Amino acid sequence: MQLGLIGLGRMGGNMADRIRAAGHEVVGFDHHPDKRDVSSLAELVEKLAAPRVVWTMVPAGEITESTIDQLGELLSAGDLIIDGGNSKFTDDKPRADRLASKGIGYMDCGVSGGIWGSQNGYALMVGGDAKNVATAMPIFEALKPAGEFGFVHAGPVGAGHYTKMVHNGIEYGMMQAFAEGWELLEASEYVDNVPGAFKSWREGSVVKSWLLDLFDRALDGDPELGKLKGYAEDTGEGRWTVDEAVRLAVPLHVIAASLFTRFESRQPDSPAMKAVAALRQQFGGHAVVS
Ligand SMILES: O=C(O)[C@H](O)[C@@H](O)[C@H](O)[C@H](O)COP(=O)(O)O
């Protein structure tokens, strides 16, 4: 089938390759002139036969919102938009309603797999009507991994991005657990071969996983991670997961702690710990470091 794909960066570009390799036609648009097949959204829409399916794979937030608004002006009743970016789930229903007033369908699809997805396949978490899911199924089939798993129609519009948000919250917690275990092993006088321990866990162990494989790969390149700074960014999914935990009063100890640890990583000197040191000095006369 034909697909319009907007955003041909690290994710979208690889996805286009995988969809084409499965025998589909992709008409791609990107802001970078060297990557794209068409030079405007209007040209992309023109090149597709109706009813059209257009997938947005651009950064979440303002860019996705304005791209979908422009598509809403250019597409016709019967066409379908799929947002595959890491949008916030609360954006989905209002978008779907705006587009529905013009007869345009909308689905959200959480996409996991990072830069490895083109070879391994992408895990897809879809929210939308069964009819729209069926329309896009050949594209989902092309993107998902070859095996039994890697796809869920999670529920109505919003459910795909919600599922991806929770997936990313879990990702934060798993990464943090590996990271803390690594720090403890490195600090201890008991274990000499820390990279070897992680490597050994890749087979047979209870904690074997793709994240562990990737951590082992990172340690192969830099056994003490000496080339990196202890600084980690976040792009929103972890914060939304914790917001939801507060809204629903669900205890999310590990994920919340993992998120806060990232915030802490950006503080060269912790203001809160200065306050703790000041208070210890005030009530106990304990020494402080200035
Ligand atoms: O499942 C995935 O493929 C990843 O989760 C992917 O979506 C991306 O790498 C994260 O959005 C990074 O998220 P943070 O910037 O919040 O760590």
25 is an active site residue: no
Please report the atom of ligand 1 found closest to the CA of residue 113: 3
Task: For residue 57, give the amino acid letter.
Answer: M
Q: Is the pTM of this model over 0.90?
A: yes
Ligand 1 binding pocket includes 112 (Cβ within 6 Å): yes
- Of all residues in the chain, the percent with pLDDT exceeding 70 is 100
Question: What is the predicted pLDDT for the residue at 149?
Answer: 97
| Predicted-assembly ipTM surpassing the 0.95 threshold | yes
46 is an active site residue: no
Atom 3 of ligand 1, residue of closest alpha carbon: 112
- The rounded mean pLDDT for the chain is 97
Tell how far CA 261 is from the center of its chain. Answer: 19
Options 88, 144, 171, 237, the catalytic residue: 171
CB 214 within 8 A of CB 139: no
Atom 14 of ligand 1, residue of closest alpha carbon: 234
Distance 284 CA to ligand 1 centre (A): 45
Question: What is the predicted pLDDT for the residue at 226?
Answer: 97
CB 2 within 8 A of CB 53: yes
At 30-45, the pLDDT tens digits run 999 998 999 999 999 9
CB 197 within 8 A of CB 216: no
Atom 17 of ligand 1, residue of closest alpha carbon: 234
**Neighbouring C-beta atoms of residue 88, cutoff 10 Å:** 18
At 54-67, the pLDDT tens digits run 999 999 999 999 99
HEC secondary structure over the chain: CEEEEECCCHHHHHHHHHHHHCCCEEEEECCCCCCCCCCCHHHHHHHCCCCCEEEECCCCCHHHHHHHHHHHHHCCCCCEEEECCCCCHHHHHHHHHHHHCCCCEEEEEEEECHHHHHHHCCEEEEECCHHHHHHHHHHHHHHCCCCCCCEEEEECCCHHHHHHHHHHHHHHHHHHHHHHHHHHHHHCCCCCCHHHHHHHCCCCCCCCCHHHHHHHHHHHHCCCCCCCCCCCCCCCHHHHHHHHHHHHCCCCHHHHHHHHHHHHHCCCCCHHHHHHHHHHHHHHCCCCCC
Atom 8 of ligand 1, residue of closest alpha carbon: 114
Ligand 1 binding pocket includes 86 (Cβ within 6 Å): yes
Please report the atom of ligand 1 found closest to the CA of residue 172: 17
At 204-245, the pLDDT tens digits run 999 999 999 999 999 999 999 999 999 999 999 999 999 999
Distance 168 CA to ligand 1 centre (A): 6
**Neighbouring C-beta atoms of residue 247, cutoff 10 Å:** 8
C-alpha–C-alpha distance, residues 1 and 227, integer Å: 45
Distance 269 CA to ligand 1 centre (A): 27
Distance 26 CA to ligand 1 centre (A): 25
Ligand 1 binding pocket includes 87 (Cβ within 6 Å): no
Options 47, 73, 88, 164, the catalytic residue: 164
Task: Give the dihedral sign, CA 180/183/187/188.
Answer: positive
Substitution candidate for ligand 1 out of 120, 211, 235, 258 with most atoms within 8 A of CB? 235
